[in-house]
Amino acid sequence: MAPTKRNSFDVNLPKLSPDGFELPVELDRLSVGMSVFVPCKNTTACSRQAKIWATQRAMRFEVRVVIEGGLYGVRIWRVE
């Protein structure tokens, strides 16, 4: 049986919703040292949601507020 292809709108993906709408972010696919940028205005909510998600799965993330390509948001690194 062939593996199923995951897309960015998979209903089983963890979702961050810092600004009131869900953003499908594949946090579970991050290896140690990898990062992802999440554009958002409510960086506090995004940081909290990412850290809660990581704690539930025995992972650890470093989250920083950044501006990338003119967009305000957070960068999430998997550190453990």
Q: Where are the beta strands (DSSP E) in the chain?
A: 15-16, 23-24, 35-39, 61-68, 71-78
Q: Which helix (H) or strand (E) covers residue 3, if one does?
A: none
* pLDDT for residue 12: 53
Which amino acid type is present at position 44? T
> Which residue ranges in the chain fall short of pLDDT 70?
1-14
Tell me what pLDDT residue 24 has: 81
pLDDT, tens digit (0-9, with 9 covering 90-100), for 18-29:
888 888 888 888
- Delimit the domains of the chain by residue range: 31-78
Task: Read off the pTM.
Answer: 0.75
* Confidence at residue 46, expressed as pLDDT on a 0 to 100 scale: 92
Q: In this predicted structure, what is the pLDDT of residue 9?
A: 45
